[in-house]
Chains A and B, each alone.
Chain A
Amino acid sequence: MTAGIDLGQPQAQSVRSDEDVVRVRQLVRAVAVAVKLSLVDQTKVVTAASELARNTLVYGGGGSVEVTVVDNGRRKGVQIVFADSGPGIADLDLAMTDGYTSGGGLGLGLSGSRRLVDEFQIETSTETGTRITVTKWSR
């Protein structure tokens, strides 16, 4: 499964079902292992990816995930983009608050996954949906 991954290319995975969320986790893990993240950092980035991919599915109505190896000259990292064309997030500050949920979840997906990665960027609009980019660097 992981043998065929070409790290020079972004890896795409559509998110349309529960099983796709599992596939996103497996893809992110394979790339995290390939760029030699520590075990704890692998676990953190895969957990964050699981939360955000589920958000893409549940709140964004499905979308896509792209995983890329990034290199800033000193370190390598994993960059993941979660994109949906759903309704967008009306109040971003509120949505980023621990424990706030507009659905039935625990309200930890956005706020919690931000703590698990090194860089977290979110663009959202009611017209074009939501796009979240996260990066985890090797130490």
Chain B
Amino acid sequence: MERVPILKIGDILLVSIQLDMSDQTAVALQEDLAERIVATGCHGVIIDITALDIVDSFVGRMLSTIASISKVLDAETVVVGMRPAVAITLVELGLSLNGIRTALNVERGMELIAAAHADELDYQLDDDPDAETARP
């Protein structure tokens, strides 16, 4: 079985799916990513599907599952690079990709993750009682 490589770039894990995945490969990617998120402590996952010429219900479900798993592990997932024909087909198939953040390309995906992580840090600061008392 082939495996999809996972690259670490700073605080982000980047997955660029370049092959026509069998269902087993998709499931393996799910597990590999969960392990890498925990091992690296990364706060963002970008899944680049530019090279995928279809997304069927199995791959769609895999993307949703990865988003849910990474959320539980304190990481944000963004799916980038969906082709127009794939988007049209997904909608007609009835797949809504609930809970998945998308961006047009890797660069915008990185911005989205940076923004989400900054929001979260702000929120944690607000929650910190010491931070509260320090304010005038």
Interface residues, chain A, with chain B CB atoms under 8 Å away: 18-19, 21-22, 25-26, 29, 39-40, 42-44, 46-47, 50-51, 54, 98, 105-106, 108-109, 111-113, 115-116
B94 contacts partner chain A, Cβ-Cβ < 8 Å: yes
How many residues of B sit at the interface, in one of the four size bands? 20 to 34
Cβ-defined contact, B60 with A106, below 8 A: yes
Closest 6 CB pairs of A and B: A18-B22, A112-B93, A43-B85, A50-B56, A40-B85, A108-B57
Chain B residues whose CB sits within 8 angstroms of the CB of A50 once the complex forms: 54, 56, 58
Q: With the chains together, A22 CA to B22 CA distance in Å?
A: 6
Task: Show 21 A/B contacts (Cβ-Cβ < 8 Å), sorted by A.
Answer: A18-B23, A21-B22, A21-B23, A22-B20, A22-B21, A25-B20, A40-B84, A43-B88, A47-B54, A47-B56, A50-B56, A50-B58, A98-B94, A105-B58, A106-B60, A108-B95, A109-B57, A111-B94, A115-B92, A115-B94, A116-B92
Contact of B93 among A25, A40, A54, A115 (CB under 8 A): A115
* CB of B65 to closest CB in A, whole Å: 11
B112 contacts partner chain A, Cβ-Cβ < 8 Å: no
Interface string of B44-68 (1 = CB under 8 A from A): 0000000001111110110000000
Q: Chain A: which residue is nearest B85 at the CB level? A: A43
Cβ-defined contact, A46 with B94, below 8 A: no
Q: With the chains together, A25 CA to B59 CA distance in Å?
A: 14
* CB of B100 to closest CB in A, whole Å: 14
* CB of B64 to closest CB in A, whole Å: 9
* CB of B85 to closest CB in A, whole Å: 4
B40 contacts partner chain A, Cβ-Cβ < 8 Å: no
Q: With the chains together, A25 CA to B23 CA distance in Å?
A: 13
* CB of B29 to closest CB in A, whole Å: 13
Q: With the chains together, A47 CA to B58 CA distance in Å?
A: 10
Q: Chain A: which residue is nearest B58 at the CB level? A: A54
Cβ-defined contact, B88 with A51, below 8 A: no
Known: A43-B88, A47-B89. A18 touches B54 (CB 8 A): no
Chain A residues whose CB sits within 8 angstroms of the CB of B58 once the complex forms: 50, 54, 105
5 further interface pairs, Cβ-Cβ under 8 Å (given A43-B85, A54-B58): A25-B20, A46-B54, A50-B56, A115-B93, A115-B94
Q: With the chains together, A109 CA to B60 CA distance in Å?
A: 12
